[in-house]
């Protein structure tokens, strides 16, 4: 018992000594001046000036910021001249834009920029978002869609997609994982043949089909312009880089849907559908029929993607059927509802 009391007393004394040491350190050690001196701050400013001077003098600045230095200075002049960006005590506009472009090029990160520019991560991250918001306000000036009156329709636009890696919640990973082994966002972009971007549509999950994304780009309010008339129309203008006809973009029509569904119905009656999936022979028949009737060169993948889209639309139609305020017009074969109901439905299903 005495041994226990002795150990308890020693523990209390040790704890009291620990508290005394912490109190001393709080009072005295916190008063020690930080090693950052005026000379060190001047050295950081010098480093930043040297970095910007090297960017100006570099023979291939486009490898660092993905644009020539002349284009960089013009961009800075636009952002500064319109009051979208301002110099502050931490950095000039030139430095803010240069750091933004370097990070955007994929060569830098916030932490690496913090190291090279002798800045805190907060001083790097905050201007990055300011520059991003400023550039978004310039989209109407730089993303100008061409039209058939100013450019020959045969060389109007070239469209392609790119998969950009993204981080999503665990519940959404399966939708964003397409042909890659990691989640991606499928982004559609169009440009003229003088390499000027005219349209960008981000936001689609990596598993979305190309035809579905193009259909959305052509039908949404802020849509992708396509020439009308002549030898080239919306179905033929936007082609994948490389010119493979089998991969040409086209827009499914009601007639094509009817042919596809009729052939699939016929193939189902011939036992070409097992376990809720059509056989390869059934898809081959659909491809042959559509290519012959509409002079196209589509493949099995496009048919499968279209069938998947129709199934999704059918599920949505079933949901609409039982919503309050929406009715079916049997003569026009369409749903009818007040404008407010449609707006709320579109807001809930933006795609």
DSSP string, 146-191: --TTTS-GGGS-EEEEEEEE----GGGHHHH-SSSSS-EEEEEEEE
Q: How far apart are CA 249 and CA 217, in angstroms?
A: 12
pLDDT at 267 over 70: yes
Structural domains of the chain, count: 4
Q: Pick the last residue of a domain from 89, 118, 140.
A: 140
Q: Which residues contact 257 (CB under 8 A, 6 or more apart)?
A: 306, 310
- Do 54 and 104 fall into the same domain? yes
Under DSSP, the state recorded for 89 is S
CA 123 to chain centre: 25
The answer to whether the pTM exceeds 0.75 is no
Res 233: pLDDT: 47
- Do 297 and 326 fall into the same domain? yes
Burial (CB count within 10 angstroms: exposed 0-12, middle 13-18, buried 19+), residue 159: buried
- Do 133 and 162 fall into the same domain? no
pLDDT at 37 over 60: no
Q: Residue 248 falls within a domain, yes or no?
A: no
- Do 61 and 134 fall into the same domain? yes
- Do 183 and 220 fall into the same domain? yes
Q: Pick the last residue of a domain from 243, 263, 297.
A: 243
Q: Which tokens is 104 given?
A: 């955007």
pLDDT at 348 over 80: no
DSSP per-residue string spanning 286-344: HHHHHHHHHT----HHHHHHHHHHHHHHHHHHHHHHTSTT-EEETTTTEEE--HHHHHH
Q: Residue 249 falls within a domain, yes or no?
A: no
Q: Residue 219 falls within a domain, yes or no?
A: yes
267, 302, 269, 268: which is closest to 285 by C-alpha?
267
Res 175: pLDDT: 82
Range of the domain at 271: 254-348
Burial (CB count within 10 angstroms: exposed 0-12, middle 13-18, buried 19+), residue 194: exposed
Q: Residue 37 falls within a domain, yes or no?
A: no
Q: Residue 166 falls within a domain, yes or no?
A: yes
> Comparing 284 with 152, which gets the higher pLDDT?
284
Q: Residue 320 falls within a domain, yes or no?
A: yes
Most confident of 100-104, 192-196, 309-313: 100-104
Q: Residue 263 falls within a domain, yes or no?
A: yes
- Do 269 and 307 fall into the same domain? yes
DSSP per-residue string spanning 256-286: HHHHHHHHHHHHHHTT-EETTEE-HHHHHHH
Look-up: residue for tokens 């992708």? 224
The region of weakest confidence among 183-187, 260-264, 310-314 is: 310-314
Q: Residue 36 falls within a domain, yes or no?
A: no
Under DSSP, the state recorded for 34 is P
- Do 232 and 268 fall into the same domain? no
User: What's the alpha-carbon Rg for the chain, to the nearest Å?
Assistant: 31
286 near 305, Cβ under 8 Å?
Answer: no
- Do 216 and 306 fall into the same domain? no
- Do 155 and 135 fall into the same domain? no
pLDDT at 130 over 50: yes
312, 268, 311, 271: which is closest to 286 by C-alpha?
268
The mean of the pLDDT values for the chain is 76
Strands 184-191 and 327-329: unpaired
- Do 178 and 131 fall into the same domain? no
Quick: pLDDT tens for 132-174. 999 888 887 877 776 655 444 444 445 566 788 888 888 888 8
- Do 238 and 259 fall into the same domain? no
> Comparing 281 with 227, which gets the higher pLDDT?
281
> Comparing 84 with 5, which gets the higher pLDDT?
84
Q: How far apart are CA 287 and CA 302, in angstroms?
A: 9
The region of weakest confidence among 47-56, 80-89, 227-236, 306-315 is: 227-236
| CA dihedral sign of residues 167, 169, 170, 173 | negative
- Do 176 and 215 fall into the same domain? yes
Q: Pick the last residue of a domain from 121, 140, 159.
A: 140
Angle between helices 300-321 and 280-294 (to 10 degrees): 90
4: pLDDT confidence band, cut at 50, 70 and 90?
low
Res 158: pLDDT: 53
């Amino acid at each position: 018992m005495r041994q226990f009391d002795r150990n308890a007393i020693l523990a209390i004394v040790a704890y009291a000594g620990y508290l005394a040491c912490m109190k001393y350190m709080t009072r005295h050690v916190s008063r020690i001046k930080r090693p950052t001196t005026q000379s060190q701050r001047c050295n950081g400013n010098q480093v930043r000036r040297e970095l910007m001077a090297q960017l100006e003098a570099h023979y291939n600045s486009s490898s660092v910021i993905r644009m020539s230095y002349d284009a960089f200075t013009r961009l800075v002049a636009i952002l500064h001249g319109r009051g979208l960006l301002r110099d502050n005590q931490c950095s000039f506009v030139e430095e803010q834009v240069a750091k933004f472009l370097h990070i955007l090029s994929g060569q830098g990160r916030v932490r690496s920029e913090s190291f090279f520019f002798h800045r805190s991560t907060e001083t790097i991250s905050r201007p990055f978002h300011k520059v991003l918001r400023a550039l978004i306000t310039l989209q109407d000036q730089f993303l100008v869609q061409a039209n058939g009156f100013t450019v020959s329709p045969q060389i109007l636009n070239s469209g392609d997609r790119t998969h950009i890696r993204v981080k999503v919640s665990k519940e959404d990973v399966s939708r964003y994982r397409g042909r890659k082994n990691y989640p991606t966002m499928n982004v559609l972009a169009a440009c003229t043949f003088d390499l000027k971007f005219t349209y960008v549509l981000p936001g689609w999950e990596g598993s979305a089909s190309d035809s579905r994304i193009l259909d959305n780009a052509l039908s949404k309010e802020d849509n992708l312009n396509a020439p009308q008339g002549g030898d080239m129309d919306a179905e033929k203008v936007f082609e994948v880089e490389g010119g493979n006809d089998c991969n040409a973009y086209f827009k499914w029509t009601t007639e094509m849907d009817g042919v596809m569904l009729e052939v699939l119905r016929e193939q189902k009656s011939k036992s070409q559908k097992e376990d809720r999936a059509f056989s390869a022979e059934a898809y081959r028949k659909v491809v042959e029929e559509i290519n012959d009737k509409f002079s196209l060169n589509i493949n099995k993948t496009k048919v499968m993607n279209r069938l998947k889209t129709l199934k999704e639309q059918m599920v949505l139609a079933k949901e609409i059927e039982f919503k309050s305020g929406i009715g079916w017009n049997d003569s026009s074969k369409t749903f009818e509802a007040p404008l407010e109901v449609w707006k709320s439905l579109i807001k809930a299903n933006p795609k």
